[in-house]
Copies of this chain bind each other. A is one copy, B any other.
């Protein structure tokens, strides 16, 4: 490993320069006008994969955005890892809150700033650079690898599922590896073993067929903004619980053991609150902050819009008002079932005076995995070697629907090595990736691939088949 480790330490500057190119492409998957950027980004990524030494590089068209595939399969008898990541990014808006342009990677006080730098371009790059270090020092990898990098993660990964179904053979592997999560905190390398699921909706309320003068009509017509607020307000009860009949029915309760384990983690409400800037933390009664974000389902309005919102006053009753909202789901909740419940509730809440349009944007399962599998344990050890710190097992509040689908479909372990930090603004202005974590991440991942190559066939089967998620 010494030449690989030395190589990684000697190429730190170049790793930043190359990431700068990757982040310069505004590959925003949710906005149709960025389709050409998405395609340019897929091409750039494919070229880079070829350049470092991966083989069978292919840009695979889908009904949506393309998937970039590559592999290297010349380590017979060694495990095969399927790495999954995404090259698409969230929209950068609101632009005025960025301190440097979102698509110009900028180093400031030890952090790299750019849209997508932590979610997920930088973390994809951590793996590519680790592989490159092996190729440059001996011309081969310690394991077999397959890379599947998609362009629709931020919009629900819809077309990846079809691809996975169709290409079961091509994607066959011993484990899935993902780096799209965060560490518990700075200096605490973390392996993630649980993710929340997601459903994302949009509701549009139409009252009058066009905007009306609030003087001439106010008091006699249904105001869609008033009504939207009244509907949305009824989606929570006074205890902070989601007020949708049946919503909690399938929720897997937290075990005493896991609650105790959560308590032992070096997590402080005070620090968490400081990160968010809120006056006080809130949430479902009876649960700690860490339980609320990792293991309890939630509902949040993500956007709302209607009527006049520019400067000053306009005395108008809007024709339409709309809200985007989403749920986070936990183990055993079924997104399709939740969608049905939410739709029913919205339709019930809408008064007969208005029209309602309900749109489902995306759905994904939660995922919780056992962490005693040798690959998962190898992940923890590799992080401790790369960071020279004790590593922990954590869950995350976010969603990577593909992980749960992969797990459900192939019953293979998933190793989630996250190198982001919770306050790095993954979906907000001034997204960043800590430079030290980027560099130590590349090192850790190199140790990981090396360690997995050392695991013998018998150990491999360990946590894979038939195990139930906890």
Chain A positions near chain B (C-beta within 8 angstroms)? 29-32, 90-91, 93-94, 97, 154-156, 182, 196, 198, 200, 202, 207-223, 225-226, 228-230, 232-236, 272, 276-284, 289, 292-293, 296-298, 300-319, 321-324, 326, 328, 351-355, 361-362, 396-399, 422, 425-430
Check if A210 sits within 8 Å of B277, measured CB to CB: yes
Q: Which of A214, A289, A298 has the most CB of B within 10 A?
A: A214
Q: Which of A182, A282, A297, A310 has the most CB of B within 10 A?
A: A282
Which B residues lie within 8 Å of A352 (CB)?
Answer: 279-280
Chain B: which residue is nearest A94 at the CB level?
A: B211
Nearest B residue to A284, CB-CB? B219
Chain A interface mostly helix, strand, loop or mixed?
Answer: loop
Q: With both chains docked as a complex, state the minimum distance between the C-beta of A305 and any C-beta of chain B, in angstroms.
A: 4
Report the minimum CB–CB distance from A10 to chain B (whole Å).
34
Which 6 pairs of residues, A with B, have the shortest CB-CB distance?
A: A209-B277, A215-B398, A30-B312, A233-B233, A303-B307, A219-B298
25 contacts between A and B (CB under 8 A): A91-B310, A91-B314, A156-B313, A208-B276, A208-B277, A209-B277, A210-B428, A211-B429, A213-B428, A214-B302, A219-B297, A225-B300, A226-B235, A226-B236, A229-B233, A230-B236, A278-B353, A279-B355, A301-B307, A302-B313, A302-B316, A304-B309, A307-B324, A314-B324, A314-B427
Considering the chains assembled together, what is the distance between the CA atoms of A145 and B229 in angstroms? 49
Q: Are A279 and B30 interface neighbours, CB within 8 A?
A: no
Q: How far is B426's CA from A293's CA once the two chains are assembled, in angstroms?
A: 48
**A220-B280 CB under 8 A given contacts A302-B313, A316-B427:** no
What B residues does A305 contact at CB under 8 A?
Answer: 304-305, 309
Who on chain B is nearest to A362 by CB? B313
Q: Which residues of B contact A32 (CB under 8 A)?
A: 311
Q: A352-B279, A398-B213 are in contact. Are A301 and B223 (CB under 8 A)?
A: yes
Residues A221 and B308 in contact, CB atoms below 8 Å apart:
no
